[in-house]
Amino acid sequence: MDIERTQIGDKVVLHVAGRMDAESAVHFEDQCESCMSEGFTSIVADLGDLIYVSSMGLGAIVRMAKKLQDKGGELRICCLTGLVRQLFEITKLNRVFPAHDSVESALMKS
């Protein structure tokens, strides 16, 4: 799994590509923790190039969202496709994380 980080204003976009499984989910959490330690509380996870996510990956996303929420921020998810979108629908996480169609829409203030 590759994660590319981009700062846009007071938010960080993490472009996640590849497979998020038990091993790589830790990398996602580390990236989020790093952003939080630098003072960012709004993170956009661009999952457009994520082709697979395991239960451990979903758990990592939920844990990071909870940590951000506890700090008064949020984790926004965008660009869900294919199997990853189906998993968010099956697990009902699409109700927890309103999916944004683009990075731009996820960056807009709600």
CA–centroid distance for 74 within its chain: 10
pTM of the model: 0.94
Task: Determine the average pLDDT of the residues in 56-74.
Answer: 96
| pLDDT of the residue at 65 | 97
**Number of domains forming the structure of the chain:** 1
Domain span including residue 62 = 2-107
| pLDDT of the residue at 110 | 52
pLDDT band at 98 (very low <50, low <70, confident <90, very high): confident
pLDDT band at 109 (very low <50, low <70, confident <90, very high): low
For 98, the token pair is: 């309103």
